[in-house]
Structures are given as C-alpha cells and as structure tokens.
Structure 1
Amino acid sequence: MSTGHVPRVLVVIPARGGSKGVPGKNVALVGGVPLVARAVRACLASGRVTDVVVSTDDASIAAAAAVAGADVIVRPAIIAGDSSASEAALMHALNRFEADRGVTVDVLVMVQCTSPFLTTSEVSGVVARVLDDGADTAHTVAPFHGFVWREGDSPAEAGEAGAQGVNHNKTYRLRRQDRPQEFVETGAAYAMRSAGFRKEGHRFFGRTVLVPTDPARVLEIDEPADLERAHALAPLVDGYDETCEEVVPMPAPTRADVDAVVIDFDGTQTDDRVWIDASGRETVAVHRGDGLGIAALRRAGLKVLILSTEKNPVVAARARKLDVPVIQGIDRKDFALKQWCEEQGVDPQRVLYAGNDVNDLPCFTLVGWPVAVADAQPEARAAARTTTTSNGGHGAVREIAAWLLGKELYKS
C-alpha cells in the first residue's frame, strides 16, 4: 500500500435465510445475541476494518444486522440457494459495495456468523497478515493433533487392508511431539486481496497464511446439537478476548424498545429461597426497590404482568400490593404469555421478559427482550439478550426499570 493511503477493508458476512439443518440459524440467540449480530459486533470492534456488510435474502436477518450496526446488501435468490457458493455472495457484495460507494476495496474479508465465538482479534489477525505481512490470503485455523482415518467407499475398495490412516501410517504411528504440527480450518474468518479474488474467483489464491486461534473457542453451527453446545459454552467463553481486546457488551433496552414488562416471580423478584413455618406456610423476601421500579413502569404507561408457574398465595399477595395483574398456576408460561399479548394488543417483540431459570426459556424465545437476572441459571443467561448486574430479589427489577425510564424513574 502506498504511503498515506488508508486501506479499505470490507467485511462481508454471508447469511442466507434458507438453512435446513438449523432453521433460522443466523438469527438464533447465543448468549442472548443473534448469531449475525455477534459476528457484526466482533468485526465493528476491529480497528483494521473500515466497513461491514451482511449479504442476505432474509428480512429478519437484515433487521438484526442493521440493529447491530452493519449495512445490508440484498442477495439475489439465484445465489442464495443450498448449492450457492460463498464466493458468489462475496463477489456480488463486493461489486455492489464498490459501485454504490464509488470506492475500491483493498482487502476483502469473509466472516461466517455460524462461528459464534469469533473474536475481534481473529478478525484483526487475518487482516494484518494480508496488509502487514504480504500474504495474498489468510484464514483462521486451530492446532490439530488427531489421527484422521478414511474408509473405502466399498468393501472391495477397502480391500483386505480395511480403513487407512490419512495423516499417519497405521503400522507405525509417531508420537505427538514427533509429528509435524497440523491445523484444522475453523471456518470463522478469511481475508484476501480483493484484486486477487476478482482474478481467481476463490479465497485461497497466491500465498496463503494461517492464523492460529484458541481451539477452545472453535465451534461451527451446522446442526441443532451444535447450537445446544453454543448455548452451554456461551457463559464460559463470552466476555473476554484472548488478546484482551475489549468485548462490546450487549446494550440494555430503552423505553423506545419496550411496550410491556413481564416478570417471573421466584428467583427474579425473590432470591429463590422460601421460609416454611411449622404450619407449612411459606414466606419469601422481596426488594422494596423492585416495588418502586414496578410502580414507575406503570406510571410511564408500560403494561406490567407477573407470570409464575406455581400457584401460591404469596405471589397473589405481592401482585395485589403492586396493583398489577398476575397469571400463576400454569404448565406452559409461553402459551399464557402469548395469549396475554394477544389480549393486550402487544407485539411480543416489544415485550421485556425477566426470568432466571430453565422454565423461562420458552418465554425467552417468544419475546424481543429476554432478560436474565445476574444470578440466573447458566442456561437462562446464555439464552438472554442481556443480563442485569443485580441478583434476583436484590433490585434486578428496579435495575430494569432504570434501563427503560432513566431519570423518569425518579419522578413521582
């Protein structure tokens, strides 16, 4: 690059809507954030990236990408099918971007949002190998030490020898420390000189450089089981980058995002403990600040509902004290919530639901703003869109009210 020239680095995130293995995959929530938004945020946080676009044929993906801060390029149906190559989407996005902006892209980066634990440093790393180290292409890989085997397509092809080693001789296997280091492609991030990509039409031309990453973060979501693993891992791996680059937190909602607040009781308005006296009567502790917050939400015109699986006089008494409706003693909280939204004329996507445990997960998938309290179960935190800093029963509901109302919270 010439002196003084600021390289144009365009990230393209291909995210079509027609996934059959995991329907709706690219907007599935991991750690409370749609997959496409996770990818966008990691790319926007990189100082080496100048532009981020999402190439999609799906309106819901486009909306999630735009909210996360990316530009959207509508992908034609002819290159959005199951058999369409990623390179076709890259070329279309590159051409559209340059034509619309009247600019020339120096480095093209492809990031796949099916890699949920992509880090900003990985994006910066592949770009650096092209811009700073002179590579034509670079992509993320993870160290690999496994023994790979291959079976013949038929017994006759396999012959008497049977299965054979691909990266080793089965009759004499070297120790791990004596074998050459091998790497497996992670599928997360690829960088390439745009001129070379135009000429060659694929992403592995010229001198290719590998960018090793942390194997613990490598996961590609291709099947439902992969998504379940991502849900389980999110609480463990989110919130840090191995190079200490800042991870952008998911912003809390504001009043402009929400029309109704639905609150679980046990573990959300309480600390999930119950005191039982000799007569079997139950007593719980609630937080006065939560009552203040709920009153402020009602004054601001938001609809408020308490939704609880158990039928308990304590829940009913608290609802009367707060002067809010309550639905309790139900098997399916999501069914009850959906019906309540229909009756109240509220769009579920504009509902904030606060919960703490696995029985709240169906409601999390129904609403636009699933929120977990700070000490919620890992499964709930992983599925939430954002999390309070306060524990259940210790002011979490008041914190939510402060998000939505700001200074309005303190007006009588």
Structure 2
Amino acid sequence: MEKSYKEIMPQINTFIFDVDGVLTNGLITITTNGELIRNMSVKDGYALKTAVDSGYNVCIISGGSNEGVRARLEGLGINDIYLGTHTKIVQLNEYLSKNNINPENVLYMGDDIPDYPVMKIVGLPCCPKDAVSEIQGIAKYVSQKKGGTGCVRDVIEQVLKVQGKWTQQFNAQTD
C-alpha cells in the first residue's frame, strides 16, 4: 500500500521548488523596456528562511532566469539556485549526487509539465492548487493554496510541524 503524504513527511530533509507557478502566481508583468516582474509571497519567504535556518537542504530549480529572483532567494539564505534549467531531471540528479541526498528524502513542488520527470522520482511530489492536471495527478499532496499565495509555506510548515521543528524557532526568539 502506498504511503500517505503525512507518513512521508518525517523522512524529508530536502526541499526543492520550481519558481514560476509555485513561488510566484505564474503571471509575469512585462515593462516597456522588456523587464519581467514577478510577485512572491513573504509568507513563502519566511518559511524558506526557516527551513534553511533549521538545517534543511533547500534548492531551487527553474526554467526561468530572472536575476532578481536569484537575489531574493539568496537573501533568504538559499545557496543552491539553478535558473535557466530546461531539463530539470538532469539538474536534480546532479544536485542529489553532489550532496549525497536520497530522492526518497526530497519534497519537490512543481506546477507544470517540465516538473513531471522530477516529481516521478522524489519521495514527496507536491503541487499548488492551480497546477496543471497532469501534475496534480502524480502529486502525493496538492496544497489548498495556489502558486505564489503560500503553497510553499504550506508544505514547509507541515513538514517542520510533523518533525517537531516548527515551534523551535519561537522558543529561540524568546530566549
């Protein structure tokens, strides 16, 4: 019998996320000079920083190549950021090998067809509520939040709560 997502969460030590449609709502504003502007949720940012500060591996693999996105993510303490990646499975395999990470210990959240091959091999494939149907069909967890509106916070918070690490940050701030 296949494990439920709650049964898999205790073994997660690595979070990997797509950007467009996961960390953003998938909409891009194009300025008159051609600059592409994306919106990200500060709640997702807080959860990403909390995961990094709690010792989890956090990685971004995206087909997009916006340097503003890189700067935002680096500001949250994320060092493994792969932008402009069109074959995500290759980048995933390199990252896992380089860091000696077992795919079963990975939560990956994607929203569209380029994420499909990665989601087929990780322990906990997840997606936002507004992911395409093919991705929802293979996800073990579909967040009730849409991309860019807290779906990343949703999955990180759930994993940290299951592992007893979510409230540790509150205790550290009151010491």
Instruction: Please give the residue correspondences for 1:180-219 in structure 2 after superposition, counting only pairs within 5 Å.
Output: none
Alignment of 1:42-121 (within 5 A): 64=2, 68=3
Q: What is the Cα-based RMSD across aligned positions, in Å?
A: 1.6
Q: 1:305 aligns with which of 53, 59, 68?
A: 59
Q: Who is 1:30 aligned against? A: none
State the Cα distance separating 1:392 from its structure 2 match: 0.7
Q: C-alpha deviations, 1:158-192, integer Å up to 9, x for none?
A: xxxxxxxxxxxxxxxxxxxxxxxxxxxxxxxxxxx
Percentage of identical aligned residues: 25
Distance 1:274 1:253 in 2: 36
Task: Work out whether 1:355 is the aligned partner of 2:110.
Answer: yes
> Based on CA coordinates, which of the two structures has the bigger radius of gyration?
1
Shift of 1:254: 6.0
Show the counterpart of 1:265: 19
> What is the Cα deviation at residue 323 of structure 1?
1.8
Contact 1:401/1:409 (CA < 8 Å) preserved in 2? Answer: no
**Which of 138, 156, 166 is the equivalent residue of 1:409?**
166
Runs of 4+ in 1 over 6 A off after TM superposition: none
Aligned AA for 1:278?
T
The residue matched to 1:326 in structure 2 has which SS? strand
The structure, 1 or 2, with the larger RCO (C-alpha pairs under 8 Å, 6+ apart) is 2
Distance 2:28 2:108 in 1: 23
User: Which one of 144, 155, 162 corresponds to residue 400 of structure 1?
Assistant: 155
Deviations 1:196-225 (CA, angstroms, capped at 9, x unpaired) = xxxxxxxxxxxxxxxxxxxxxxxxxxxxxx
Aligned to 2:88: 333
Compute the TM-score of the two structures, normalised by the length of structure 1.
Answer: 0.39
Match of 1:380 among 135, 149, 153: 135
Partner Cα separation in structure 1 for residue 33 and residue 86 of structure 2: 27
**Hey, which of these two has a bigger chunk of strand by percent?**
1
Deviations 1:293-327 (A, max 9, x none): 11111122110001101222232122222121201
CA contact (8 A) 1:275 1:284 kept: yes
Shift of 1:265: 0.3
Instruction: Say if 1:374 and 1:389, in contact at 8 Å, map to a contact too.
Output: yes
Q: Are the counterparts in 2 of residues 254 and 404 from structure 1 also a CA contact under 8 Å?
A: no
8 Å Cα contact 2:5/2:124 also seen in 1: no
Q: Distance in 2 between matches of 1:355 and 1:387?
A: 10
Aligned to 2:75: 321
Q: Which amino acid aligns with 1:304?
A: V
Separation (CA, whole Å) in 2 of partners of 1:352 and 1:253: 13
Aligned equivalents of 2:22 and 2:149: distance in 1? 9
Q: TM-score, normalised by structure 2?
A: 0.88
Structure 2 residue runs of 5 or longer lacking an equivalent are: none
The Cα shift of 1:379 comes to 0.7
Task: Count how many residue pairs are aligned between Structure 1 and Structure 2.
Answer: 166
Deviation at 1:371, TM superposition (A): 0.5
1:3-18 matches, within 5 Å, as none
